[in-house]
């Protein structure tokens, strides 16, 4: 499962009882209600702050961006949401945005450019909310026009500002003392849905009758609390849920095993062992040594991991973290390896460790300065694919003299450790940005400005990489028109080379993200021929695009 997945640990029978579901294959009894399982382990905490790393729901569905960018297709035109059009000046220092004039907040107040300016100012002034590194200055020309000025050319900021900042109501948020941490339990947005009911075991959204794009045909979305992947598969087979993203047994035969359901698999997010990598930022443990990280990289048997944990739905991953398929033109020719080896190289792992001063003890485990090379890897309880992966890794790494101990945690505990740097290793995914360009994942997960010392919230550079060469290359890319591929590539090369060299995230595989959905009950789902949005229930704001497109069958 993906890091955005949310799982709740309650008894399956209780959770299923909440759905009001009908017979097998029917989904919920209400034909216009979609029942979804996102996967959280541990009760929902009632957090609807779209800028919180532990937000439950609401990004895209309650709080909207100005535009929707489809990261699945290079060259796809952005779709208007709160904005209608935008343009850059010739120098890339001024972004002009035209807004809709027919939008109201769900409490009836009118949406204006002042809300956009307030949001952008709030994000710029709160580093933990500013996961895109926004540094612009926004001005409201009038109620429907906003100009964002930058001190330097900032072409690459366009999809970030327009597609990854969630606009909030000034008239309510100006009274929030700590917007970065307030849970916003009663969210007021402009989106296609509003919060109807919150329970620790289920969240229900209902269609917004006053939505500027027209009231959705889908009248309710209920996000259920189940106990993990197996509970999701069981509920799917019983027809109790209509949409989930995650592994099920015999994933290639979903239509036979689950009549009325279909599945779609998309290679998008990159599975990795996240490491708290920087001793300078307060990380402790053997994983702060690059030699250890690289030894783990070479000791993995990725073919075995793919077969045992991911039913061979995953695909190769680049150590430079550009997507092998989508980002082919951007892959650096200067990498030592274009993709991570699928077979283990124990001799290479041995060379790295012994070169770093490790010696193998009588128990077969390497040690240095009297301390065994022993690491704990955190994984969320119920994430059966990832649990299988780390258990398999533990066996593989033992053969290379590395002791790996998996530790299962609730999603809330795992997420807090990830944010604060309270871990040695954890399994997660490097996710993509608003457009089909590796710059965005690089700027999220490898930029110095999106990390923090241990004990403070990093968002989302959880690996705590802080590298002057990477930061310089990112700054240069921001200034270059994305159409100028020749000027961009040297900077993309630098980032990929440094990421491969430092390796704060140890590449595992490119995850084949599989979603199962009720095609008998609803129409309008993304297909391989029409990937209008990344089809994962936990991906936001992508899931909101899907919710707006769905219609009850027969409508």
For 400, the token pair is 């290379």
Region 527-552: mean pLDDT is: 94
pLDDT score of 364? 96
pLDDT score of 22? 32
pLDDT band at 42 (very low <50, low <70, confident <90, very high): low
Is the pLDDT reported for residue 193 higher than 90?
yes
Region 364-378: mean pLDDT is: 97
Regarding predicted confidence, which is higher, 269 or 62? 62
Is the pLDDT reported for residue 67 higher than 80?
yes
Report the alpha-carbon distance of residue 435 to residue 163 in Å, rounded.
9
Region 314-338: mean pLDDT is: 94
SS3 label, residue 251: helix
Regarding predicted confidence, which is higher, 25 or 500? 500
CA nearest to 539, candidates 94, 38, 102: 38
pLDDT score of 20? 32
Domains and CATH numbers, the chain: 12-56+191-245+524-552 (3.40.190.10), 67-173 (3.90.76.10), 268-512 (3.10.105.10)
pLDDT band at 15 (very low <50, low <70, confident <90, very high): very low
Region 275-303: mean pLDDT is: 98
Q: For all residues of the chain together, what is the average pLDDT? A: 91
State pLDDT tens for residues 98-121. 999 999 999 999 999 999 999 999
SS3 label, residue 359: strand
pLDDT band at 40 (very low <50, low <70, confident <90, very high): low
Least confident of 231-245, 299-313, 314-328, 378-392: 231-245
Region 284-311: mean pLDDT is: 97
Is the pLDDT reported for residue 32 higher than 90?
no
Is the pLDDT reported for residue 62 higher than 80?
yes
pLDDT score of 232? 84
pLDDT band at 382 (very low <50, low <70, confident <90, very high): confident
Is the pLDDT reported for residue 265 higher than 80?
yes
pLDDT score of 212? 97
- Identify any residues that bridge with 522 across adjacent strands, giving them in sequence order: 552
State pLDDT tens for residues 405-428. 999 999 889 999 999 999 999 999
Per the CB < 8 A criterion, the answer to whether 86 and 165 are in contact is no
Is the pLDDT reported for residue 228 higher than 90?
no
Is the pLDDT reported for residue 163 higher than 50?
yes
Helix (H) or strand (E) holding 405: strand 403-409
Per the CB < 8 A criterion, the answer to whether 343 and 458 are in contact is no
SS3 label, residue 245: strand
Report the alpha-carbon distance of residue 289 to residue 504 in Å, rounded.
10
Is the pLDDT reported for residue 227 higher than 80?
no
Per the CB < 8 A criterion, the answer to whether 164 and 434 are in contact is yes
Region 274-298: mean pLDDT is: 98
pLDDT score of 326? 87
């Amino acid at each position: 499962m993906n890091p955005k997945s949310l799982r709740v640990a309650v008894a399956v029978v209780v959770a299923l009882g909440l759905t009001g579901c009908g017979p097998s294959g029917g989904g919920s009894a209400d034909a216009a209600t979609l029942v979804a399982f996102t996967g959280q382990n541990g009760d929902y905490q009632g957090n609807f702050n779209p800028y919180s790393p532990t937000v439950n729901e609401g990004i895209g569905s309650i709080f909207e961006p100005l535009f929707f960018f489809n990261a699945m297709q290079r060259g796809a035109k952005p779709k208007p949401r709160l904005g209608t059009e935008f343009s850059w000046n010739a120098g890339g220092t001024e972004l002009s945005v035209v807004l809709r004039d027919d939008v109201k907040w769900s409490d009836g107040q009118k949406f204006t450019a002042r809300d956009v300016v307030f949001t952008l100012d709030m994000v710029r002034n709160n580093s933990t909310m500013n996961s895109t590194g926004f540094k612009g200055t926004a001005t409201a020309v009038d109620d429907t026009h906003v100009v964002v000025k930058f001190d330097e050319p900032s072409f690459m900021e366009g999809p970030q500002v327009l597609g990854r900042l969630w606009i909030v109501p000034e008239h309510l948020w100006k009274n929030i003392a700590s917007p970065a941490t307030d849970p916003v339990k009663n969210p007021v947005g402009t989106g296609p849905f509003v919060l109807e009911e919150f329970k620790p075991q289920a969240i229900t959204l209902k269609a917004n009758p006053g939505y500027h794009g027209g009231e959705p045909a889908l009248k309710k979305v209920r996000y259920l609390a189940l106990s993990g992947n197996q509970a999701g598969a069981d509920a799917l087979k019983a027809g109790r849920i209509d949409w989930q993203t995650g592994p099920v047994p015999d994933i290639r035969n979903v239509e036979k095993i689950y009549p009325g359901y279909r599945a779609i698999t998309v290679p998008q997010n990159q599975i990795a062992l996240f490491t708290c990598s920087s001793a300078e930022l307060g990380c402790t443990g053997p994983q702060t040594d690059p030699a250890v990280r690289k030894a783990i990289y070479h000791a993995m048997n990725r073919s075995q991991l793919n077969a045992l944990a991911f039913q061979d739905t995953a695909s190769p991953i680049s150590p430079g973290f550009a997507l092998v398929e989508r980002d082919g033109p951007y892959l650096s020719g200067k990498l030592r390896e274009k993709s991570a080896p699928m077979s283990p190289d124990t001799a290479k792992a041995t060379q790295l460790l012994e070169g770093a001063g490790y010696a193998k003890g009588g128990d077969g485990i390497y040690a240095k300065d009297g301390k065994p090379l022993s690491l704990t890897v955190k994984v969320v309880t119920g994430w059966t694919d990832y649990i299988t992966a780390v258990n398999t890794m533990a066996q593989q790494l033992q053969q290379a003299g590395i002791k790996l101990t998996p530790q299962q945690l609730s999603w809330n505990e795992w997420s807090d450790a990830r944010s604060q740097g309270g871990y040695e290793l954890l399994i997660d995914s490097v996710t993509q940005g608003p457009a089909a360009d590796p710059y965005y994942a690089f700027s999220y997960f490898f930029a110095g400005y999106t990390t923090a010392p241990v004990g403070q919230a990093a968002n989302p550079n959880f690996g705590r990489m802080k590298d002057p060469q990477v930061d310089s290359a990112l700054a240069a890319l921001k200034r270059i028109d994305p159409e100028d591929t020749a000027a961009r590539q040297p900077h993309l090369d630098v980032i990929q080379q440094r990421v491969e060299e430092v390796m704060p995230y140890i590449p595992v595989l490119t995850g084949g993200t599989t979603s199962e959905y009720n095609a008998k009950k609803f129409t309008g789902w993304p297909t391989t021929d029409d990937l209008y949005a990344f089809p994962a229930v936990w991906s936001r704001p992508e899931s909101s695009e899907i919710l707006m497109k769905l219609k009850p069958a027969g409508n």
